[in-house]
Structure 1
Amino acid sequence: MSQSTTTRRSPDLTDGQSMPIRPRSADIPVESHAFEVAFLPDPIRVPEMRQTTTAFLRRWRISGSVVDDVVLVVSELVTNAICHGDGAVRLSVSAADGELRVSVIDQSPDRATVRHADADDVSGRGLFLVAAFAHRWGSGGEETWCTFRYPLGDDGAVAA
């Protein structure tokens, strides 16, 4: 796994610039995995993102109900971004230290909020499901994210 470059504010820069820096090795968890994909908003992408997420989670040896829960939430968040967001959509999923993080970003500055759908409504329950299945979730405008916990073995690796 190669180290990724992140951008942080440098105290030396006074005009608000940012510069790419390499994370210190202590910042990288021993057992970490991640993938990210960007795509144009098209409903055909929803099943593709479910399949991609499932494949990566299985490759990372995460299994059971965690996979089902994460894939359901990915489906809801990607659908939300396609239907209510603006511009390209970016899905990222990362797993480290027993916590899995899902993030969906679009270009809309509007914060995602839970709706209370009526019994006969055919939509409007997506973020309710995210809140019900995820350990934590939030929205900061362009990004809606959530976390899940998954079991680790005694050695710190993913429990099979």
Structure 2
Amino acid sequence: MDLIEILAPAAPALEYPQQPATVGDQHGERLRPTAAASRDTGTSTAWSLDRDPAAAHQARDLTRGQLGAWRIDEDCCETAVLLATELVTNALRHGAGTIVLTWTVTSSTVRCGVTDDSPQPPRPRTAEPGGENGRGLQLIASLALVWGYSPLSRGKTVWFELAVTAEPQ
């Protein structure tokens, strides 16, 4: 049994929007939540992360391990690691309570969801020249096929999808 199998409990059921929310513009337009509906999620795995700065590093390691086990191509994996780190960092900075990192693979996409207990939706910001903040959601919007958030009865899940070029194993 490898480390991923030990660390990965059964994934909770996530609520997925029928039509994903997307970033409106680069000037901080707010996202609108979309109606939640279930969909075929393929194979999923999830982990609870500690609320400390090490959670971003932990998310990178778990993401690399899981996507590697699913034989996801290296370019997609590295993009996924970068974007998952952004979502976990946002959950640490702007969220509350427990953080759950979820990965789902289908025949054509991988989907990352980061759930926290805060009901506040993600808010794209305009980065100041030379500023260290305000680029994460813009980066996600630029590199993901789609992204958005799903309000939950307690908190929200912010998610993105990437195209895969390898069949899941």
In the superposition, the TM-score normalised over structure 2's length comes to 0.71
Matching residue's letter, 1:61: R
Q: Distance in 2 between matches of 1:7 and 1:60?
A: 20
Residue 48 and residue 7 in structure 1: after superposition, are their counterparts in 2 closer, same or farther (change >3 A)?
A: closer
Q: Distance in 2 between matches of 1:128 and 1:149?
A: 18
| CA deviation vs aligned residue, 1:72-112 (integer Å, no higher than 9, x gap) | 00000000001100111011001012111100010111000
| Residues 92-107 of structure 1 aligned to structure 2 (within 5 Å) | 92-107=102-117
C-alpha deviation, 1:114, in angstroms: 1.2
- Structure of larger gyration radius: 1
SS at match of 2:78: helix
Report the equivalent of 1:85.
Answer: 95
C-alpha deviation, 1:63, in angstroms: 1.8
Report the equivalent of 1:113.
Answer: 123
Does structure 1 conserve the Cα–Cα contact (< 8 Å) formed by 2:12 and 2:46? no
Mark the runs of 5 or more structure 2 residues left unpaired by the alignment: 1-9, 16-38
Matching residue's letter, 1:67: C
Mark the runs of 5 or more structure 1 residues left unpaired by the alignment: 9-26
1:147 has 2:158 as partner: no
C-alpha deviation, 1:41, in angstroms: 1.4
CA RMSD between the two structures: 2.6
| Total equivalences in the alignment | 134
In the superposition, the TM-score normalised over structure 1's length comes to 0.75
| Residues 127-146 of structure 1 aligned to structure 2 (within 5 Å) | 127-141=137-151, 142-146=156-160
Does structure 1 conserve the Cα–Cα contact (< 8 Å) formed by 2:11 and 2:46? no
C-alpha deviation, 1:7, in angstroms: 9.4
Q: Distance in 2 between matches of 1:7 and 1:51?
A: 22
Does structure 2 conserve the Cα–Cα contact (< 8 Å) formed by 1:33 and 1:60? no
Q: Distance in 2 between matches of 1:107 and 1:4?
A: 17
SS at match of 2:45: strand
Q: Distance in 2 between matches of 1:5 and 1:46?
A: 21
1:53 has 2:63 as partner: yes
